[in-house]
């Protein structure tokens, strides 16, 4: 993808609610995302992003830049879902590390507890269910508190199903 200040500005001018960045299949460096989040804030547009992976420090790096809804690829287990909530949410819901007040846009600047609660309330975690393993574990995954939305990945799911069928020695 190509990210420019003008595109974010245009999204704001025409009244779009959000702008989306891709860090898994596009060159979205933290520096670019930081600049785009600043532009989005100025225009009242919510920045969302698919991060490259499930590594907590990578997820936090983008959340700290100002991403408000984070899509995480290849969630397969309840334990992975629980780990995502822990790294994306502040206490008491999680263990997200505190960052600068520039990033903490919600709440008041004098009440840290309220600021963290407001940020939690305005952070959306969207794991992608992209493998047959994820769907086999879906009942357990859906029990995890703090995740309200899930994304898919139909092409990756199709590949996963083909591999599963090969391992099961099924012929279709």
The upper half-sphere exposure of residue 20, i.e. CA atoms within 13 Å in the direction of its Cβ, equals 8
Of 25, 102, 113, 166, catalytic: 25
Reply yes or no on whether 115 is catalytic: no
- Whole-angstrom distance, CA of residue 56 vs CA of residue 21: 18
List beta partners, residue 127. 72
Q: Collect all residues with Cβ–Cβ distance below 8 Å to 17 and sequence separation of at least 6.
A: 45, 46
104-132 per-residue burial string, b: 16 or more CB within 10 A, e: under 16: bebbeeeeeeebbbbbbeebbbbbbbbbb
Catalytic residues: 25
């Amino acid at each position: 993808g190509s990210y420019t200040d003008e595109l974010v500005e245009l999204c704001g001018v025409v009244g779009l609610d959000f702008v989306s960045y891709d860090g898994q299949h596009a060159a979205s460096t933290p520096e670019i995302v930081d600049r785009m989040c600043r532009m989005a804030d100025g225009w009242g547009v919510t920045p969302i992003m698919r991060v490259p992976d499930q590594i907590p420090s990578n997820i936090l790096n983008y959340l700290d830049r100002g991403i408000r809804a984070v899509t995480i690829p290849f969630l397969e287990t309840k334990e992975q879902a629980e780990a995502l909530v822990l790294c994306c949410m502040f206490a008491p819901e999680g263990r997200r590390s505190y960052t600068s007040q520039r990033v903490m846009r919600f709440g008041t600047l004098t009440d840290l507890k309220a600021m963290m609660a407001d940020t939690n309330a305005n952070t959306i975690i969207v794991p992608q269910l992209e493998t047959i393993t994820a769907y086999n574990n879906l009942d357990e995954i859906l029990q995890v508190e703090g995740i309200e939305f899930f994304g898919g990945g139909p092409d990756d799911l199709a590949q996963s199903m083909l591999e599963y069928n090969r391992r099961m020695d099924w012929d279709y």
